[in-house]
Amino acid sequence: MRHVVKELVRALNLLVTTRRRRHIYSCCDFARKLARLHHVDEEKVTVACLAHDAFRDVPTSKLLRIAKAYGIEPKGMELEHPVLLHGNVAAEYLRRRFKIEDRDILEAVAFHTSGKPNMGEIAKIVFLADSLEETRAYEGVEDLRRLAERDLDEAVIQTLRSKVCYAMKKEYLLFSETVEMWNWLLRNKRSKSLIQNDQDGVEGG
Ligand SMILES: [Fe+2]
Ligand SMILES: [Fe+2]
């Protein structure tokens, strides 16, 4: 994986703006910290973070051409906003350029914007780091960072909540995957607390 990291860094120098590079590296720093704290593969997290926005600054017409060459058919909101293809294109780039078939890395990259239900730990970390890295500044971000260091799942819920609230305030459209992710997270949280209550009941009884 080390050569992948090296090559990705080189590719980023050509593909993205300086500002975007700062975001990507900051994202890597925070994601690696979370990976260490939550015992998740740090190298995979690094590769996913480096790749996630590699195509974010590619002009729309070029992005659409690359997507077509990769066999990615724009659908749903991607038709209205082709920039949303950048995650999917980056995941396909990893597969084609580096023969990466690791599903956890690929889903983390492809779904970093929308999120999705049933996401793995690497995808959760990339999703969080994308919104919480050090260059991000908005009300509550500091608390969310601390929460992410303590409790990954709860941080994903609260970060998603903040993103959805913001999108609603701005009257942005929501991805269906985002809504499904929200429902999945809450169902998991409820079943966890039911199990906890059952255990408490048994211990108490
Ligand atoms: Fe992105
Ligand atoms: Fe990003």
Pick the CATH number of 2-204 from 1.10.3210.10, 3.40.50.150, 1.10.357.10, 3.40.50.300: 1.10.3210.10
Find the helix or strand (DSSP H, E) in which 87 lies. helix 86-98
Distance 53 CA to ligand 1 centre (A): 5
Residues in the chain: 205
Q: What sign for the dihedral angle of Cα 66, 69, 74, 79?
A: positive
- Structure confidence at residue 200 as a pLDDT band (50, 70, 90): confident
- Structure confidence at residue 110 as a pLDDT band (50, 70, 90): very high
Mean pLDDT estimate for the chain = 95
Report which bound ligand comes closest to the CA of 55.
1
112 Cα distance to chain centroid: 3
Contact 52, 114 (CB under 8 A): no
Q: pLDDT for 5-42, tens place per residue?
A: 999 999 999 999 999 999 999 999 999 999 999 999 99
Residue 194: the pLDDT is 84
In single-letter form, the type of residue at position 91 comes to A
Taking phi over 0 as left and psi of -120 to 50 as alpha, with beta for the rest, 173 belongs to beta
Residues 67-73 have a mean pLDDT of 97
Q: pLDDT for 145-158, tens place per residue?
A: 999 999 999 999 99
Q: Phi/psi of residue 75, each to 5°?
A: -140, 160
Helix axis angle, 152-169 to 176-204, nearest 10°: 140
Q: Does residue 202 surpass a pLDDT of 80?
A: no
Q: Does residue 71 surpass a pLDDT of 80?
A: yes
Helix axis angle, 141-150 to 121-132, nearest 10°: 160
* Dist CA 168 CA 43 (whole Å): 35
* Dist CA 151 CA 149 (whole Å): 6
Distance 56 CA to ligand 1 centre (A): 6
Q: pLDDT for 168-186, tens place per residue?
A: 999 999 999 999 999 999 9
Q: Closest by alpha carbon to 97, among 23, 29, 10? A: 10
Contact 130, 51 (CB under 8 A): no
Q: Does residue 90 surpass a pLDDT of 90?
A: yes
Domain locations in the chain as residue ranges: 2-204
Report which bound ligand comes closest to the CA of 25.
2
Distance 21 CA to ligand 2 centre (A): 10
- Structure confidence at residue 193 as a pLDDT band (50, 70, 90): confident
Residue 205: the pLDDT is 55
Distance 204 CA to ligand 2 centre (A): 46
Residue 199: the pLDDT is 81
Q: Does residue 204 surpass a pLDDT of 70?
A: no
- Structure confidence at residue 203 as a pLDDT band (50, 70, 90): low
* Dist CA 105 CA 107 (whole Å): 6
